[in-house]
Amino acid sequence: MALECGIVGLPNVGKSTIFSALTAAPAAAENFPFCTIDPNIGIVDLPDERLDFLASKHNPKKKTPAAVKFVDIAGLIKGASQGEGLGNKFLANIRECSVIAHVVRCFDNPDIMHVRDNANEAAPIDPESDILTINWELCQADLNTIEVRQDKVTRAVRSLGKEEEKKYAPWMSAVAKIKPLLQDGKCARVADLTDDEKAAIYDMFLLTMKPTLYVANVDEDSIAAGTNKYVEVVQKYAAEEKSEVVVICGKFEADLAEIEDPADKKDFMESVGLSESGLAVLARKAYHLMGLRTFFTGGPDECRAWTIHAGDKAPRAAGVIHTDFEKGFIRAEAYTIDDLRKYGDEAAIKAAGKYRQEGKEYVVQDGDVLFFKFNV
């Protein structure tokens, strides 16, 4: 399973517009269903004010941000789990992603056809019904996956007896919790599973177990308020399954992406009451939902944000820079971006006793600035 965020939703809700603005690599965005067939893939630089601050202290020749991969997956419709539209292919594309960004239409526009149950029939704007339609199809696909595995587990237990039953006990207890939810159109991720149960079902890559971020695509009139009657519906639904919501105006973000001058970008955002692009928020939240974290290195040649997994220890982080750093790891010298803000420079950080020496068991924290000592 790739470390990437799949952008999903019904046809014509603004997925490709948002993707194009994110990646500055235009995807087709036309007013008809299934405009996107093969998934578009884009690597997006992760906006990070901490890296900008570090660079302001070093004035490096080069500044390299972390990045997150997004995949624009074609619109799903009712019946996708039975192959309607191009359902089977699209569901396979989603299965390959680690996180889902579910785009929901939260604007009225009679010139843009909205579809739900039938790709050729206009439907009213109803965010909850739209979410339920997509989630129902994902639930049905997961039920199919479970039932295929359940047959194999049942045969194994019958033929090999109690030892095999003991081996599969966490899997069976997880399925007992998940299956009724899926049958009711509710996502598997809301099930109260133990760590052993989560581990037991991991290799099925259930679609509804994937962390999901709801993206409320609004019109320009709703940007300043950051909400409208449709957004409130999405927020209520997301809260029930403990998911987050990002409010974005796809059209505004597409226009913003075409502006090259940073000062002009800032003025354009301020004109609608924004201090930060909605897409920057989306990229950052997707990155964290993937379980990714950032540490920094800084100097006159380059200031760089490096990507690690939450919980990675210092040697593993060193290996992200170069395998030799991990093999010959001695220690990591560390401080935080917050230390740098407070004390102003490394000398002052050292004088305050905040410059740390960390060993092999140190778990790297998001926002650490590290310098590795190694010997090969």
pLDDT of residue 19: 87
**Could you identify the residue written with the tokens 């991990």?**
326
pLDDT of residue 256: 93
Beta-bridge partner residues of 332: 358, 372
Q: What angle do CA 177, 179, 180 make, to 5 degrees?
A: 80
Q: Residue 323 burial by CB count (10 A; 0-12/13-18/19+): exposed, middle or buried?
A: exposed
Instruction: Give the percent of the chain with pLDDT over 90.
Output: 68
Average pLDDT score over residue span 288-295: 95
Distance, in Å, from the CA atom of 167 to the CA atom of 176, rounded to the nearest integer, reads 16
8 A C-beta contact, residue 236 and residue 106: no
| Highest mean predicted confidence (pLDDT) among 31-35, 36-40, 49-53, 64-68 | 49-53
- Residues listed for the chain: 376
Phi, psi for residue 307 in degrees, rounded to 5: -100, 130
**Could you identify the residue written with the tokens 């009139």?**
221
Name the pTM for this structure: 0.85
**Could you identify the residue written with the tokens 């001058």?**
261
Average pLDDT score over residue span 266-276: 93
Distance, in Å, from the CA atom of 311 to the CA atom of 296, rounded to the nearest integer, reads 16
Structural domains for the chain: 4-289 (3.40.50.300), 311-374 (3.10.20.30)
State the average pLDDT for the chain.
Answer: 88
Q: Which residue did the predictor score with more confidence, 40 or 223?
A: 223
For the sheet containing 40-45, what is the strand order?
40-45, 67-72, 4-8, 99-105, 212-217, 244-248
* Three-state SS at 312: coil
